[in-house]
Chain A
Amino acid sequence: DGGITQSPKYLFRKEGQNVTLSCEQNLNHDAMYWYRQDPGQGLRLIYYSQIVNDFQKGDIAEGYSVSREKKESFPLTVTSAQKNPTAFYLCASSIRDNYGYTFGSGTRLTVV
């Protein structure tokens, strides 16, 4: 059953700690994306990757980092430099950059 999986569903982090959110897809999609969804803000782009070993910053990349070592995986690290990390994070993938996206079910990160 093809799809995109995000884990964990819920994540709690203490202030000052880095945390990594997982995103895996078995759709053979080239492009992958990370968005942050806040109430009233819509989806804001954090990072995206169109091919393995390459990625670009989105509109709100500060305090985040990513890697794309495999086509199937695009983990997002929320670093301690991110001022307001509590949010809902969505990962997506697509065949190419201007095609429809398939979204994961999201990870809700709470800083405690």
Chain B
Amino acid sequence: AQRVTQPEKLLSVFKGAPVELKCNYSYSGSPELFWYVQYSRQRLQLLLRHISRESIKGFTADLNKGETSFHLKKPFAQEEDSAMYYCALSAQGYALNFGKGTSLLVTP
């Protein structure tokens, strides 16, 4: 069985502070992991995929197979980063399995 855990429901940081949104997964195979973001009144959208190893809006995420984690990081948070963030796992031939999400609030 596959599972995605986001331990924090809410994360509040000050503008300019580093931010780390935690994501842990359980899956016996080789996972593909994603981060999705939902800004207020907007559609859920893809932020980044681990396989592409890219940085989007200053966010990065590294897959750590030893710790089964895929934490999302940004060195300096901006107010516009305030949103709901979902970590998701794709198993071969199956649909994305989402975590319960973390609400990030960046305060000035």
Contacts and interface: CB of A to CB of B under 8 A. Distances in A.
B86 A48 contact: no
B100 A40 contact: yes
Contacts of B9: 40
Nearest to A47: B95
B90 A98 contact: yes
Contacts, number: 43
Interface of B: 6, 9, 32, 34, 36, 43-46, 49, 86, 90, 92-101
Interface of A: 31, 33, 35, 40-45, 48, 58, 90, 92, 97-98, 100-101, 103-106
A98 B46 CA distance: 13
Contacts of A98: 32, 90, 92
Q: Is the interface of B mostly helix, strand, loop or mixed?
A: loop
A36 B6 CA distance: 18
Contact of B95 (A42, A45, A104, A106): A45
B93 A97 contact: yes
B96 A104 contact: no
A45 B97 contact: yes
B46 A100 contact: yes
A16 B68 CA distance: 44
Given A42-B98, A42-B100, A103 B45 contact: yes
Given A41-B100, A42-B98, A101 B93 contact: no
Contacts of A35: 98
28 contacts: A31-B95, A33-B96, A35-B98, A41-B100, A42-B6, A42-B86, A42-B98, A43-B86, A43-B98, A44-B98, A45-B96, A45-B97, A48-B95, A58-B95, A92-B44, A97-B90, A97-B93, A97-B94, A98-B32, A98-B90, A98-B92, A100-B34, A100-B49, A101-B96, A103-B43, A103-B45, A105-B43, A106-B43
